[in-house]
Structure 1
Amino acid sequence: MGKGKKKGWKRVPREADENIHDVNLKRHISNLPDEEMFVIDTTALPLEDEKPAELTFKQKAALKHKLCKSALKDEDVDMKDLELKTFPRVAFSSETIKTRSNKLDQASTKYDLWEEDNTKPAESTSNDFEAVGIEHYDKVLQRKRRKAPKATRFVPNIIPAVEIPKEGASYNPTLDSYVAYANQIVQEELKMEKAEKKINKNLPAKNVSNVGPGAEFEDFRSLLNRDEEEDASDDENPISTNVSSKTARTKPKTIKQKKLALLRKIQSLQKDKESMSKKQLQEFSNLKKTLRDVRKEEDEHKAKIAARKQQKVLDSLTKRKKLGRGEFKAYEEPVLLTEELTGNLRQLPSRGNILEERFKSLQKRNILPIAGERKKSNRKTTFKVKFVEKRSVKEVTKGSRVL
């Protein structure tokens, strides 16, 4: 057969060969009776009556308490008459569980507005499934989320933005708190007065003539006269000094004296050696004690280092840093004494400036720099012109020859 005929034979449809088995099977099943097709299982045991689940001790006690409470409300009943009965456990539907969980969520969102930590609890997000899907998507694609910059996580200071006024500044303070508050204000005012006095003291005095050169010359002449008088008194009472001109001569040592000196030196060296050996032996015997002392010192040193690190972190979060060239000046709160109060408190005009207070708070918390004058540099602005004639570049004059 040729190649063309073989290809034509393959194109013949074979649907009849493929479907003939299914057709025969359907024909055979349709002729069968129901008893042969289906089998009823008569060997299975009958279902026993389900026993109700027993309650735990805690559940029994709680149920007994509830029954007693409800019975005593209606009429006086003896405790012995109340008998516990076992109740089957109730399977809650999914709807009841959902409503219960919703109620619990609503109860958890309640919070006290006037607590110290008055942060509202985070609400439960409904996009949990979405978040899980995004996480899985990132994991499959090996895609990393972009991290937030460090600047957003940086905490400049933990000092509160709005400082709570002191107890003595309230409308109806206690005597001790008011006295402490007033004393603090007085101390601040005394410091200011002291600084003003120091400045005024350094200033030149008014209505006082300056000292001229003539007065200086008179003072100098009086000092010279005093020195001359002291010299004259010294001449009248001279100090007697009898210094012997002869110097004491040392005699040379004999051989016996030299031998004795050498013997003493050897003995002293031996004593030093013995004392050193004794000291070393004593130190060796006290080795455990010395090791204990060394460990104790090391522990103390480590504790000091840890405390220093902790204090450093605390200072960085609570103290003010040097930002800018200026000097920080705290906000002066307006204060009125009891004598200065006139009339009703409601009729008093408002004092202080909120913007200034906010600005000072930002400076104190290391958020804003403090402006100030720029320091004058010692660098010269004008330079002198200097002419230097080097040997390699000398001026060519008459008579000079090229090397």
Structure 2
Amino acid sequence: MVSRQESIGVGRIKKRVSKKNKKSWRKYTDIKDVDSFLDEKRLEERLGTPFADRQDHELFQIDKEADEGQKADLVVRLKKPQKPIKCFAILEERSAVPDPIKKRNRVRTPEERKHPLAKKIKADRKEQGILKKKEVIALRNRALAKAKKNNKPKKGEFNADLWEDTDNGNTVDLDVEWLTPTTKYHMLKHTGKLKKKMPDKFLTKPYEIPAVESPHPGMSYNPSYGDHQNLLQEVANKELILIKEEKHLKRVTSKMFSRVTEDEKESMRMKEMSEGLPEAGEDKLKQNLDEGSETDSDYRAINPPAKNIKKTLKKRRNMKEAKKEQIQHKESRSEKKKNSDIYRLKLLNQELEAKDKKLAKLREKRERVKAIKEKEPKQLSKRKFEPLDLEFNLGEDLKGNLRSVKPEGNILEDRYKSFQRRNIIEPTIKQRTRRAKVKRYERKSHKMGWETKGY
């Protein structure tokens, strides 16, 4: 049971603590009332004059007007633009506390730093019309910019023909024979009248393949006999090529190796593993060879010994004369060749003409190959483009009308292959999800001892 004194708080034993140093004083001294008093003082200081020093009319007001109804929306909308923007409220002063530093050093603007006398001289010069060079340039540039802005078509105005080919000052008449193309380009570039050349790729298509190709006449639901036979012949030729490739792969892979029995395989393995091991009779032969090599161990040179014999003067003179004759013979041969080439001018012309014809044929061949390659799909990925197989119907499947015709092919697949053929998308295949190889094992804690190993 709680006594009355304990409930009131009288007679409660006060906790005794040590306050012999500053740390203990800070820890065990209750200053909440002081902090709350100081917070109130700071709040009054921020709001302005303290509430105790304010007059009654500053704190209270007498309501003498009747309550008005809801204001019209028009009045509210008209008053909104007059109110300050809320995003600038953070920039305004929210405290009535004066700045403790009365005088602050503010960076003056260049106009404020100017001397009054210099300002007066500048104003007098402007009144007289005397301007500096940079001011004249600035005025001219400002006028040009204003004229350019005025000449710019306004939004919604269509006064000029976009497709009209006009060269208003884009070119200069520089058709002079002694001017090189580099000089003309330099002059046009630095006079501001250079006409830019449009790249060729803007005027050419990236591919020459039509979006929808005309099918083979034999694919019709009611084709002629010749067209249908030509289509079947093309399909048969492609199938024969595939069969030939398959036979070639079998011939160079599986059929290249002959089948052997188990005994032959074992004997071949034993022979391969025993390769290099000494056999019976080889030890004696090796021993005899070693004995013969020991007896004949003296070193004998194959070539005769070289002698250092000094060349005589006669031999040196003969060598010089032989070298001189060799040089003269070489020069005479070159002179004879030059003289003979003069009489071979017709033959040389024929050789040059033949070479030019050969180069022209090669050039034509390259152009033909290039024209063929432009109509073929390009290599856009690691996989080459594979066209669809020809769609065909056998003779017994042809009905002669669209209602009972047997459908072949897929429109979606055909359009997809058309995109690949026209280099719009890269050739791809269906990607299969790779499943990770999970290694299964049995924990020791789950083993009972009598299970059979399943691996």
Q: Same fold (TM over 0.5)?
A: no
**TM-score, length-scaled by structure 2:** 0.35
